[in-house]
Amino acid sequence: MTLINPSQPDYLTIVEKQLQLTEAQGVAIRGLWDGMKQMELNVTEKVEEVQMMVQEVRDSVTLTDAECYQLQHAVRIRSNTLTKDRYTETDGKFNETVGKYRRMIWSKLKDRFSVAKYSHIRRIDFDDAVDFVQDFRPEDYI
């Protein structure tokens, strides 16, 4: 039989209080952890949402002035090449034919990208537009 001395601390009570404190800390840490995980999920969702919005904006932005100039240059080159393949520069129809091909390329380019003005072509379609011009064959549309 062990006698409890009233002057000595009650060790079981101290250990029990310490255990309760540790459990309370565990609950607090678990709550903090769960909150952090939820915040991470929310941030990830927001980042994905922002990335989608940025992509939508990128996809809807139209050609820059520099890209318009490059496209104009490609059309000039292609219309001249098409004409040279069919006529000599001394032929009286050369300039007329260059203009005819140029108008045809612009018209078919706008049809291909469903725009009223070539400058309304989306930037993401720029390379496709240049390829279209460079590969343009009037025979495909006659």
Q: pLDDT, tens digit, for every residue of 55-104?
A: 888 888 999 999 999 999 999 999 999 998 887 767 678 888 899 999 99
* pLDDT at site 9: 66
* Averaged confidence pLDDT in the chain: 89
Residue type, 104: M
Which two tokens mark 84? Answer: 């040279």
Rg (CA), the chain: 37
Q: Could you read off the pLDDT of 38-59 as tens digits, one per residue?
A: 999 999 999 999 999 998 888 8
